[in-house]
Amino acid sequence: MTEEIPYTVQEHPVTGIYNGKLGLWLFLASEVMLFGALFSSYVLLRVGAPSWPHGWELLSVPLATLNTFILIGSSVTMVMAWASLKMDDLGKFKLYMGLTLVLSFGFLIVKGIEYGGKFSHGISPATDNFYATYFTLTGLHGLHVIGGIAVNAYLLITSGAWWKSAPAHFTNRVECAGLYWHFVDLVWIFLFPTLYLL
């Protein structure tokens, strides 16, 4: 018999929450610093530049607006996936998690169309500081979307077995994946106006 990892379901007496959630929030804190450092660099570059283009002159606002709706929608389906488990409905969980994945891929496809449009015109991160910050910030965000897809797909594929053996633990795992996914949405909520609309 292997020893069980403690406090995956029960609240830890010291923190009042299960360990995974505390771990995830600490991870998100480090993520805030990662994106914060890049954001801060962006402000420094932009304020110090003799001239800086408006995002809407060079980038597609309609595509980015579409992606904002897609990502907000995926946050709703993600929280609904968790709520479905709380209501003991694995079928609905699978539906909402599947929708979340579809929307996530939709986001990447739209982003790919945007990137493709730039590359086909010979525009790359090396073009200038504007594009360097644009590709760095959206690229890092895109990597986070891919990471979220990997975790969410894993949770969806293994959901049947998890639900049978440890439903409460599984529900908490989905909650943690959700916290991460909402953070990715939150970052985009700030990236969108900063890069495209200012």
Q: How many residues does the chain have?
A: 198
Q: Crossing angle, helix 129-157 and helix 167-192, to 10 degrees? A: 160
Q: Which is nearer to another protein, 37 or 146 (CB)?
A: 37
Beta carbon of residue 129, minimum distance to another protein (angstroms, whole number): 14
Given CA atoms 190, 36, 32, 127 in this order, what sign does their dihedral have? positive
Q: By CB under 8 A, is residue 73 in contact with another protein? A: yes
Q: Minimal CA–CA distance to 97: which of 106, 108, 84, 86?
A: 84
Which 126-185 positions form the footprint of another protein (CB under 8 A)?
175, 178-179, 182-183, 185
Beta carbon of residue 35, minimum distance to another protein (angstroms, whole number): 9
User: For the chain, where are the alpha helices, taking DSSP H only?
Assistant: 19-48, 55-58, 61-86, 90-120, 129-157, 159-165, 167-192
> Going residue by residue from 81 to 120, which x/- string records binding to another protein, judged by CB under 8 A?
--x--xxx--------------------------------
Question: CA of 7: how far to CAs of 11, 27, 91, 171, 177, in Å?
Answer: 6, 18, 27, 14, 17
C-alpha–C-alpha distance, residues 38 and 67, integer Å:
21
| Piece of the chain touching another protein by CB under 8 A; list 19-27, 99-107, 119-127, 137-145 | 19-27
| Piece of the chain touching another protein by CB under 8 A; list 30-38, 114-122, 128-136, 151-159 | 30-38
Beta carbon of residue 119, minimum distance to another protein (angstroms, whole number): 25
Q: List residues near another protein by CB under 8 A.
A: 15-17, 21-22, 25-26, 29, 32-33, 36-37, 39-41, 43-44, 47-48, 56, 61, 65, 68-69, 72-73, 75-76, 78-80, 83, 86-88, 175, 178-179, 182-183, 185-186, 189-190, 192-194, 196-198
